[in-house]
Amino acid sequence: MKNAILRLTIRAALAVAVVSPMWAMASDLDHIHLTASDAKAATEWYAKHFDGTIPEGSSGTVHFGDTVMDIREADGEFISSAGTAVDHISFSVPNVQAKMDELQEAGIKVKRWGTHGKRLEALACVLTDPWGTKIEVLKDDDLLGFHHVHIKSPYPKDTAEWYSNVFGVDVGRYKNLTQIYALRLNSLYIFVQRAIHPLKSVADSSVYHIGMKVNHFDASMKKLQAMDTNFLKEIHSSGEHMHATVEGPDGAVLAITDIVAD
């Protein structure tokens, strides 16, 4: 019953989007926000294993090119991202097998996904960071570094269309993977895939939220309000920016900020 209601809610939101006036909304990922029991250690872990850069004086931020990872420190228990709406994050590397070997030498448990060639080199691999966030490593020479945020949903087409309508990004496919809906942002992808098992709640997950930045902030907020979106943090200003935090499909948390022109 809950999934049926969710699906109707998404479709109702899409119906509002269809009849709304068309307007351009340039969007991109602003940041991915994770949770760890030790933010400094998590920052150093990601910088070491995935070639991130830590800004001077920071103990909770890592840069991967144009993509920012913020890490908040929290006590208590938080669940793994695997099996939630924001199932995992992904990095693209020049050589998956070499990265897999490096991670294993560091004592990190890594699972191989597929092989190719006579040497049975890994096509991709998956691991979990020490604080519960699931990570996929793959090779995409067109986009090295932070590659995508992977969303799971019982209704992936509806969910992909929700992200498309909210953030003004076309829904496509990624290479030859017909089971994945792909939304190409400026800096990376958002992938949406069908959830095989019932999703776990994102509450207390190791992925705190996805940070998005948009042009036409006021128009995007009106659009979300017309879609009966649940605002977890109401619209507010901080410095030069406007912000709001909303609940997306299947409970995914999205922190949205405006793009301020230079």
**Domain 23-258, classified CATH 3.10.180.10, yes or no:** yes
**Single-letter residue type at 201:** S
**pLDDT higher than 50, residue 122:** yes
% of the chain surpassing 90 pLDDT: 74
Q: Which residues contact 193 (CB under 8 A, 6 or more apart)?
A: 87, 150, 151, 152, 153, 156, 179, 180, 181
The stretch 106-117 carries a mean pLDDT of 81
Which tokens go with 198?
A: 């019932």
The stretch 56-63 carries a mean pLDDT of 94
Q: What is the pLDDT of residue 140?
A: 94
**Confidence class for position 19, pLDDT limits 50, 70, 90:** very low
Q: What is the pLDDT of residue 119?
A: 54
The stretch 122-146 carries a mean pLDDT of 94
- Looking up tokens 């979300």 gives 224
* Residue 220, SS3 per DSSP: helix
**Helix 2-19 / helix 217-226 crossing angle, nearest 10 deg:** 130
Integer Cα distance of 117 and 112 in angstroms: 14
Q: What is the pLDDT of residue 238?
A: 87
Tell if the pTM clears 0.85, that is, is over it. Answer: yes
Q: What phi and psi values does residue 129 have, to the nearest 5 degrees? A: -70, 165
CA distances from 112 to 74, 104, 115, 218 (A): 31, 11, 8, 45
pLDDT digits (tens, 9 = 90+) for 60-98: 999 999 999 999 999 878 899 999 999 999 999 999 999
Q: What phi and psi values does residue 83 have, to the nearest 5 degrees? A: 90, 0
The stretch 232-241 carries a mean pLDDT of 92
**pLDDT higher than 90, residue 24:** no
Q: Which residues contact 244 (CB under 8 A, 6 or more apart)?
A: 221, 224, 231, 233, 234, 235, 236, 255, 256
Integer Cα distance of 200 and 154 in angstroms: 12
Which tokens go with 204?
A: 């207390």
Most confident of 8-17, 61-70, 169-178, 215-224: 61-70
**pLDDT higher than 50, residue 255:** yes
Which tokens go with 128?
A: 């979990």
The stretch 97-103 carries a mean pLDDT of 94
**pLDDT higher than 80, residue 4:** no
% of the chain surpassing 70 pLDDT: 85
Integer Cα distance of 18 and 12 in angstroms: 10
Integer Cα distance of 17 and 45 in angstroms: 41
Residue spans of the domains in the chain: they are 23-258
State the CB neighbour count (10 A cutoff) for residue 71: 27
Mean pLDDT of the chain: 88
Q: What is the pLDDT of residue 23?
A: 35
pLDDT higher for 116 or 147? Answer: 147
**pLDDT higher than 60, residue 116:** no
Integer Cα distance of 62 and 186 in angstroms: 19
